[in-house]
Structure 1
Amino acid sequence: MDYYDSGEVSQFHTDLSLLDLNGKEVLRKTISVNDPLRYGGITIYQTDWSISALQIMKDGEGPFNLAMAPLKINGDKKLFGTFLPVGDTNSPNVKGISMLARDLQSIVLYDQEGKFVGVRRPNSKLPIDIDGTKIVIVDAIGSTGLDLKTDPGVPIVYAGFGALMLTTCVSFLSHSQIWALQDGTTVVIGGKTNRAKAEFPDEMNLLLDRVPEIVASSGQSTTTSG
């Protein structure tokens, strides 16, 4: 995990190895939020993190794994807790040592009466005595949430988006069509345009002014070969 100066978690990472059917590693990558692993059409995302267990030594015995559970508190900050029973565990009013953690850096401990007794870092090997019980925090075991996604239709979707953007750009291009129909000595000119329709008649007149007229003089025959 990466931490802010305030101690809050800023980023969490997971070291992933992909193995084939023979157990051979084919790919390894450390992923984080917004940096997934992609292989063979499958994308593996880092989605969340938590603390699954707390490993402790009790009076020199162990280590024991105590399951950590998420606790509901006001706000969006994470808080995990566990409970180590002390004395008769079958008693309806069993008491014990409470341990709380917001991350993997430090564990806060409370005695049987719920009073604060101290803070210990995992792997510090520094014992703490609580109501005659010596506790050593060996390790905080983290867990992560992974989201696997596969979608073979993604290339088709992207191709569709690309075609849509291309046709949208083409629609902004102006194009016009003009045609002519000759009926005897009469020539009919027509046309259409997809844009600038108000200016199109003027453009059409300018174009027609460039077309030369052929006028046959009286008594003179005109032969056209084509």
Structure 2
Amino acid sequence: MWGRTDWYILQCKECDYVFAQTDDTWSEAYSHHDEDGQEHYELEHMYDYWPALSKRDKPEWIGDNSISGVKDVDALHTAMMELYGALNSNLPMLSAIGIRTCFDVASELLEVDPALTFVEKLDALMEAKHIREVDRKRLEVAVEAGNASAHRGWKPTANDLATTMTILEHFIFDAFVQPNRRKKLDEDALKMKGTVPPKPFRRKK
């Protein structure tokens, strides 16, 4: 038996991005097929990349250094960035746990007592009108997935992670980004109101 790893330095023709690729082959990992009455064997190749290729694009409102336009959420931004790192590194169980962690961090930033149980946190978020009933049901699924990975060793599929990530991103956008954008739009509208000339006064005949 033998194994081999070939390393390559690659560069994208479009953006000049440089990254490393490994190509792993092993004498016992192959596929075969019949062609013209003869058996043909072909080695299977396992490719990996560094830095890891992105498995999920970050939303436009999550920058490299902050969540767009939202102040004092450094802990949440850090947790989210580590979560995307776990996703890109093909770590599904850690990603599921990271989703649960991001929910906990976000809840605390929304002034929910971190000592509460998960169900109690959802109750508090609903009472404060940060989420609706439909959001609660979705978050229950996403966070319980993280609990299953943390406590029962459950390994989610790529589709499972895609669904739970969408739920988490929707929650964070609605709770932090959207209110901030509404506030900014209200402020801009108020400033504009001061520059718009009033309707001229006309005397009644």
TM bin (shorter chain): under 0.3
Point out the structure with the larger strand share.
Answer: 1
Point out the structure with the larger helix share.
Answer: 2
